[in-house]
Amino acid sequence: MKTVRVGILGFGPVGRTAARLLNGAEGYEVTVVTEADELSGTPVSDRWNLREGAWAKLYSRPAAPCPENVAGLKFSRTSLESLKGNVDAVVSALPDAVAAKVEFPLAMQGIAVSSHSEYNRWNPQARLVNPAVNFHDIEKAALPSALPFVVTPNCTIPLFVPILAYLINRDFSVGSVTVTTHQARSGKGDAALDPGYLASTAHAVFNDWKLSFSGLSGEEWATTAEPWRMLGQVASMVEAQSAYRRIAGGFSGRCTPIFAHTHRSQAEVGHAAVVTTEFNGLGRSIYAREIEDIILSHRMPAAASSLQFGTDRYFRQGAWGLDTRQLNSDNERSVLVGDFRQEGQRRISVRTAVNNLVAGAAGNALWCLEALMAIRSEATRRTMSYEAHPGTA
């Protein structure tokens, strides 16, 4: 198998996690790592040790060593010129202003792009993808006529959207979803290490997001609207905003009503949520045990689970109350679920948790990238047809 030359764009917590996951991965070589222009030419290991050391000190834990696959590299500039000819694919976690300049041009050059940057999540030429929700969109991005460009959604999405998609595909009529999240500091990126930020966020639970659309925080708006695009319920930001106004006004439509409430916690890694699903009247009660059995019996199709960055069991049973310390290396690629509760005749709640840096960000981006690269291969294309594995979207 030809070795895929991978570039890591941005070396914050997501970029560093991508480097860790790629270290020792079969068939992949990290050839380029980019950061801010002022760091160009400086050793990647110095930056790793500085940032990883700061997180380790903050959480009184041992610092992880710099992965061997990037330890000998120096940072390059984040530009088309420095990447073209040196990479076959990139994993991006760039700030919006930089992502706007390089991600689309890279895809136009035929370089496979898997981005966790927010900027292109509503770009109609990029596919917003979580393999457990809309794996078929990766296949569409691999078509010769399409750009090899996939974007992964907000880190809150794995907490509830795969469950929502699976229930919809099992013909459950979902009336609404309410999701209340407690998100780890690492979701803020290395900006969470700023002394001023730390001093102002000393409470056990706090909010640090700017307001966005219709009085929602940016995180709440992403948690509300991005699922609609992934589920095919809207195609643009304008449609999403219109759908939200209809729902807020009490009108029904194509979009599943989603009500998001987001908070930041003091945990270093691990987003947790309480997800309450209200089912429409079906002439019968919906039971928590029924939903629990359905979710925990779910298996990913072979086209997705056979990949080294994928997983067969996307949902795993967690112990409750859910402690994000359960999100260790054994289950960092899955979503922990548990504490299914009957809240009413047709209302079920469940607690979920996800490693925001792996299943929520870097690992999800690598899973998408691996699938994209595999499907682009003619030999693999014949055996990875989405139509042969229904029920994954």
Question: Residue 323 — pLDDT band, cuts 50, 70, 90?
Answer: low
Task: Tokens for 315, please give them.
Answer: 């949902």
pLDDT value for 130: 96
Task: Tokens for 259, please give them.
Answer: 């009500």
Task: Tokens for 314, please give them.
Answer: 């996307």
pTM of the model as a whole? 0.92
Report pLDDT digits (tens) over 15-73.
Answer: 999 999 999 999 999 999 999 999 999 999 999 999 999 999 999 999 999 999 999 99
Question: Residue 383 — pLDDT band, cuts 50, 70, 90?
Answer: very low
pLDDT over threshold 90, residue 222: yes
Mean pLDDT of 191-208: 89
Q: Which residue has the higher pLDDT, 144 or 133?
A: 133
Q: Which residues contact 94 (CB under 8 A, 6 or more apart)?
A: 9, 10, 78, 102, 103, 115, 117, 119
pLDDT value for 62: 94
Place of tokens 């860790």: 20
Domain boundaries, the chain: 4-154+362-388, 157-356
Mean pLDDT of the chain: 91
Mean pLDDT of 246-269: 93
Mean pLDDT of 323-343: 80
Mean pLDDT of 193-222: 90
Q: Where are the beta strands (DSSP E) in 159-303?
A: 174-183, 205-206, 258-265, 271-279
Q: CB of 391 within 8 A of CB of 117? A: no
Q: Which residue has the higher pLDDT, 326 or 304?
A: 304
The backbone torsions φ and ψ at residue 173, rounded to the nearest 5 degrees and listed phi first, read -90, 100
Residue 344's H or E segment, with its range, is strand 335-344
Distance CA 75, CA 72 (A): 10
CATH 3.40.50.720 at 4-154+362-388, yes or no: yes
pLDDT over threshold 60, residue 380: no
pLDDT value for 1: 64
pLDDT value for 208: 85
| % the chain with pLDDT above 70 | 92
pLDDT over threshold 80, residue 326: no
Question: Residue 386 — pLDDT band, cuts 50, 70, 90?
Answer: very low
Mean pLDDT of 85-114: 96
- Number of CB atoms found within 10 A of residue 204's CB: 9
Mean pLDDT of 205-224: 91
Q: CB of 306 within 8 A of CB of 241? A: no
pLDDT value for 325: 65
Distance CA 340, CA 237 (A): 33
Mean pLDDT of 282-287: 79
pLDDT value for 384: 44
Place of tokens 């029924």: 290
Q: Which residues contact 23 (CB under 8 A, 6 or more apart)?
A: 67, 68, 69, 70
pLDDT over threshold 70, residue 247: yes
pLDDT over threshold 90, residue 347: yes
Number of residues that make up the chain: 393
CATH 3.30.360.10 at 157-356, yes or no: yes
Question: Beta partners for 317?
Answer: 337
